[in-house]
Structure 1
């Protein structure tokens, strides 16, 4: 169990990273890469306006922290990540957009949610699909991630566009249509379940009810003589998972700031003391709902671990491939540019050596010059005439004249050797020119291949091209 709780925490961290990178599940998965968010299990809270959705979340957390009011209060998805801490540790909250600030006053959490919503939508009643990430650390919660979505509505009120109802439904559908999404459908007990907006939407995207958890709120506000047993026992609308009844704080309790822990105790007292619901009391209430959702989230994560791992590995491979295609970022400081110069020189040196060492046309052509071209040219030299006896006598006599020699005519031999060496100049220079042409061609090829490695990803980067051209000019001079 501890291991699975750690996995839930890891999934929370991945979701936070996804949001930072712009993948938050509410954009229709328009990104070119696969949306990792879609593979991550989550619990989406869906309900109509005034269905008690906010009260359910606050009961699960045990804190009063969500904005309240009439009309559309939730105008951005709220990704609520609960982290269970050790007993006795102080409760606090953190926002992803303000990671260095800890909120211990949950009234300030409510104000921050309102301010962060207004930052994107203004003070109008517009909505935005970009989520707010809120993490709450408390010993009174279970490890769980909930996504609070805007309440479904039917009619636009003053200040709202006429399309607001459809806009909200489209946003909610983007989350709940995903196969890894657990749907927490909130319906008030004092309304006919057949008219529930949450159940209607859940039935559209999850006809079998496998991903849907039904929650019935406001059981204490039903008319006297009526009850919700048909719904809670699955006769009115059957789901794969049992319905859970919730008794939220009354408006009077909210006005008196009744402690949430006391409210949970009163909720349990209601179910145990009620003759209609006493036999269901063990699986009713916000505490039971939180544990049930945590267990279900663990089960879904356990089942999805292989696909999540596969998608992460696939995404990493695609990103690395794209990075290879784009190339490294070009630094502006002297150290980064020097590193680039050295990398260019190393790459050029490696490719140039590959051409010389064989396996590619280069070294073998140079070898052919010295092994075939030069010997063939030397064999054609007129040494038989140059070293003939008459020619040797003529050169010796011209150099030394008639004088006695102890050993040999030194000046004559020197002149004979020098005139013989002059015959080698032509073939030697031709061989040097041939090798030089081969080397120049290899340098051009090596530079071209090195440029491809470094510049094919920066076709429009003219300063970089000029810089690299300068580097290769230096390389050629040194070679």
Structure 2
């Protein structure tokens, strides 16, 4: 669509007779046709017209003037007076597509070139760049224009038929068109010595109601078409209102108020003033005086030839003279205050329109350049965000995607130094597993179950130093029930068969060991399941990142299934290995780390004996504890403590390796010593086995599941996708087929970019 600027009067000869004109400023032209205006300003109008040719008005708000009005509001007569041509006439709605008039002053003879401007295809889809199609040869006789326009409109309304058939054939006026209205438009390029440098677009008249010759669908289509123009901030609205109809009943006025409520860009035109019922003329004067429905650019009143005048062959010069005579000699128009005379007559309206459009173009062009640059960059960025379009080698493209995915999968498996990545998520679960295994340790108590004072017993300090879980032991206390020394002794006695007195079978230790090992399978299975789920989530996200935007999603879906199946197999292998490792532990106690086991047994035996003897002989226990706390410091009497003396004495006879804890062994034999030995054996072996399992189970899961998923994954994908088959090309083409939504978005953005870049080149060509 083109800028809507209105043309200069068809004849300058009677402009001096129009009230409100300024003879001192009459230089042979008005508005943009004024020779005193800079050639640069006139070139800007041509530039805006060329921008309209590109169709970029869909994306950018271009300056234009739109002529709107209700049916029979006098739009056609007004346009005829401005352009000097005759438009098709018919009852009801005649204009069914926009008609653009580009008027330019020229020293050459009068000429009219008719073109069809298509901004949508036959299906109504927006074209990338507007298509301009000439409609016949240039016209040099004004009388031929009306028929050419009529034929052009029928070509617009029948998009599936050839344009030439409407240009050359006999138009069947009774044949129903394919579409009632169209956004594609007719462009008239009119030039001549009596034509002003202006342009405008005439829009279909708004249909008042179904009873006025329309249907609900047509009413809505016309209103939508008009709205698409007048809703833009740079559109000057030329509102035509027929004086023969009540003002409030004219829908065009109400629609204009909706989109220009303050009247800043609306110019009102009263038509058919000669049809005002006698005595009601005064009702329209408040509009001319801008007292009613005020507009920033005021209301104007024009009188055009009647249908009877046209039938009688009135000339345009005669029509202009009659209009001037009407306002000069007819009341109340001739009596209106001189300051409002400038709002009467077509010549004054055109002069005002010319200046408004001129100023608007001057103001908007620098902004249009910025908006175009911004819109071009935005369109390019939006295209970059879309997936790559299908390539000519889909097999290579799919292969590249698979290799890229496998590379990123390897990085994920090896570990990415960032929070919430796979290994960072797995590590807390591994720590929980270790604590759960640690908490299955048998809670041996070196006291009879009936003893009341056990408050001094606690886990040995050497465990916290070695396990590094002091806080964890407090936060997650063992859930195992205490096992008292008398219970251990009862089990040992019950297990005796042919052993000598004081000897008990090893099966007692094995039974305790079996009990805590039987509790390890569940935490190990839970850890495996957790790692499987975490791995599945991260791999699924990785698949989405690599494949979700490729094709219609079939490749992503297929890869997800293949990888999940492969992962499930690896999880089953991992679970089998876990079960095997646990079963190895359950087969019986075993370790080659004899020194480690013996050291722990000695520590636990000393811990249990010390606690038990502390209960049996509190004085000795207290002395040993004080010695361990204060060392060889002197007591309050200045004498060395008893423990210190004993240790010195034992050292003097050669027992130099004895420490304070060993003094408890000098006490009389405890009948529970066999039970203490069993407890120490079991607890020492737990430390050996627990640390072994706490490492081996997570290691097995990492090896078989986490790292295992990366093994042969490329082979699995190639085989599962059929890329090694003879149908690989067909399969990859199907995978690469772009989704309709993405293809549609790409087409839309490409068309928009094409329009914007073409418009941008037009601006650069003229150096604006």
Q: Report the TM range for the smaller structure's normalisation.
A: 0.5 to 0.7
Question: Are 1:229 and 2:285 counterparts?
Answer: yes
Q: Which residue of 1 aligns with 2:364?
A: 304
Q: Contact conserved, 1:62 with 1:261, CA < 8 A, in 2?
A: no
Which has the higher mean CA deviation after the structures are superposed, 226-235 or 46-55? 226-235
TM-score of the two chains, using structure 2 as the length reference: 0.39
Counterparts of 1:40 and 1:312 in 2: how far apart (Å)? Answer: 11
Per-residue deviation, residues 241-289 of structure 1 (Å, max 9, x unmatched)? 1211010101111112211222112111211223422334333111221
1:263 to 310, 314, 319: 319
Q: Which residue of 2 aligns with 1:295?
A: 355
Q: How does 1:322-401 map to 2 (within 5 A)?
A: none
Counterparts of 2:360 and 2:212 in 1: how far apart (Å)? Answer: 42
Q: Contact conserved, 1:80 with 1:133, CA < 8 A, in 2?
A: yes
Q: Which residue of 1 aligns with 2:77?
A: 55
Question: Are 1:114 and 2:154 counterparts?
Answer: no
Q: Which sections of structure 1, spanning at least 5 residues, go unmatched?
A: 30-34, 331-458, 462-479
Q: Contact conserved, 2:135 with 2:152, CA < 8 A, in 1?
A: no
Q: Which residue of 2 aligns with 1:5?
A: 42
Counterparts of 2:332 and 2:213 in 1: how far apart (Å)? Answer: 44
How many residue pairs get matched? 318
Q: Which residue of 2 aligns with 1:246?
A: 302
Q: Which residue of 1 aligns with 2:92?
A: 71
Q: Answer with 1 or 2: which has the greater Rg.
A: 2
Q: Once the 2 structures are TM-superposed, how far is the Cα of residue 100 of structure 1 from its aligned partner?
A: 7.0
Q: Once the 2 structures are TM-superposed, how far is the Cα of residue 319 of structure 1 from its aligned partner?
A: 6.8
Q: Contact conserved, 1:79 with 1:131, CA < 8 A, in 2?
A: yes
SS state at 1:163 partner: helix
Q: Contact conserved, 2:70 with 2:208, CA < 8 A, in 1?
A: no
Q: Which residue of 1 aligns with 2:428?
A: none
Question: Are 1:178 and 2:232 counterparts?
Answer: yes
Per-residue deviation, residues 184-205 of structure 1 (Å, max 9, x unmatched)? 0000112222222221111111
Q: Which residue of 2 aligns with 1:337?
A: none
Q: Which sections of structure 2, spanning at least 5 residues, go unmatched?
A: 1-36, 117-132, 159-174, 392-735, 739-768
Counterparts of 1:82 and 1:249 in 2: how far apart (Å)? Answer: 21
Q: How does 1:78-477 map to 2 (within 5 A)?
A: 78-86=99-107, 89-96=109-116, 97-98=133-134, 101-122=137-158, 123-124=175-176, 126-156=180-210, 161-227=215-281, 228-278=284-334, 279=338, 280-317=340-377
Per-residue deviation, residues 173-228 of structure 1 (Å, max 9, x unmatched)? 11100111000000011222222222111111100000100000011121223312
Per-residue deviation, residues 361-395 of structure 1 (Å, max 9, x unmatched)? xxxxxxxxxxxxxxxxxxxxxxxxxxxxxxxxxxx
Q: Which residue of 1 aligns with 2:130?
A: none
Counterparts of 1:322 and 1:83 in 2: how far apart (Å)? Answer: 40
Q: Once the 2 structures are TM-superposed, how far is the Cα of residue 315 of structure 1 from its aligned partner?
A: 4.5
1:326–1:319 distance in 2 versus 1, CA, 3 Å:
farther
Counterparts of 1:79 and 1:261 in 2: how far apart (Å)? Answer: 24
Q: Once the 2 structures are TM-superposed, how far is the Cα of residue 321 of structure 1 from its aligned partner?
A: 7.3
1:76–1:218 distance in 2 versus 1, CA, 3 Å:
same
Per-residue deviation, residues 102-158 of structure 1 (Å, max 9, x unmatched)? 112233322222222222324436111112222111332322221111101122369
1:312–1:231 distance in 2 versus 1, CA, 3 Å:
same
Counterparts of 1:51 and 1:158 in 2: how far apart (Å)? Answer: 13
Counterparts of 1:70 and 1:275 in 2: how far apart (Å)? Answer: 31
Per-residue deviation, residues 81-103 of structure 1 (Å, max 9, x unmatched)? 211223x6333333252177211
TM-score of the two chains, using structure 1 as the length reference: 0.60
Counterparts of 2:297 and 2:242 in 1: how far apart (Å)? Answer: 18
